[in-house]
Amino acid sequence: MSYIGSKPANKPVVASDLDPVIITGQTALTDSPATTDELIISDAGTLKRIDFADLGATPAFSAKVASNLTSQSFNATILVPHATETFDTDGAFTNTASNYRFTVPSGKAGKYFITFNAGVKTESGAGLRTFGFFIRKDGTNVRSFYVQGGSDYTDNNADVKRCVTGVLDLAESEYIDTTVYCYGGSGSLTILADSFFEGFRIAGA
């Protein structure tokens, strides 16, 4: 520890006596911490630096469907086009025409809370329908919600809205996206505007 000047006998050490390179808490932070600001923690008794970003719930993203998407196919997997980003802290969400996904950035593996809130409605056709709403990891369904067909869903323009959530263990470069599926009957489907897909990191790997 660096002491400024000569320490008088029996004088307690206060923050103003220490060299500024020593962490004293003497200077108040006047703005929100930047992601690269560092904190000191004790790791089993050894002091170590950690970036503030590693303590926050980032990466985080939110994207939605901007307008109703009509004439979607029955009996086919439909990738939900969340083309409008609300926020994307790490630039890890892609909203291109065939690739609406969040990809885990380098160094950000961990446990993520993910939610997919979807709305669909039938446009035409007949017969009982069953609707499936899915969160996928690297193309494989990992969370799902089914609405079994019934009389409420045989009529045209019957809205069906469901939310799928989960905590997923994600490694670097793994991606997640969302799909819907309408089983049975015939006709076409509309994906409703404001269906949304969002998530954030809640813990490290």
> What integer pLDDT is reported at residue 79 of this predicted model?
94
Give me 26's structure tokens: 């003497």
- What distances in angstroms separate CA 119 from CA 1, 65, 124, 129, 136, one per listed residue? 61, 10, 16, 15, 17
**Would 183 be classed as within a structural domain?**
yes
Contact 116, 197 (CB under 8 A): yes
**Would 101 be classed as within a structural domain?**
yes
Do 90 and 169 share a domain, yes or no?
A: yes
Residue 37 main-chain phi, psi, to 5 deg: -60, 145
> What integer pLDDT is reported at residue 19 of this predicted model?
60
Do 27 and 67 share a domain, yes or no?
A: no
Do 107 and 150 share a domain, yes or no?
A: yes
CA distance 55 to 50: 8
Do 128 and 180 share a domain, yes or no?
A: yes
Closest Cα partner for 62 from 143, 116, 138? 116
The domain containing residue 45 runs over which residues? Answer: 15-54
> What integer pLDDT is reported at residue 184 of this predicted model?
75
Burial class (CB in 10 A: 0-12, 13-18, 19+), 200: middle
Contact 153, 132 (CB under 8 A): no
Contact 156, 122 (CB under 8 A): yes
Write out the chain's pLDDT in tens, 205 residues.
455 556 566 666 666 665 655 666 667 777 777 767 777 777 887 878 777 666 666 899 999 999 998 888 888 899 999 999 999 999 999 988 789 999 999 989 999 999 999 988 877 666 667 889 999 999 999 999 988 765 455 555 567 888 999 999 999 999 999 999 988 767 788 899 989 999 999 988 7
Contact 121, 160 (CB under 8 A): yes
| Domain final residue pick, 54, 80, 102 | 54
CA distance 187 to 198: 30
The domain total for the chain is 2
Do 116 and 19 share a domain, yes or no?
A: no
Pairing of strands 140-147, 60-64: unpaired
**Would 8 be classed as within a structural domain?**
no
Exposure on the CB side of residue 194, measured as CA atoms within 13 A: 1
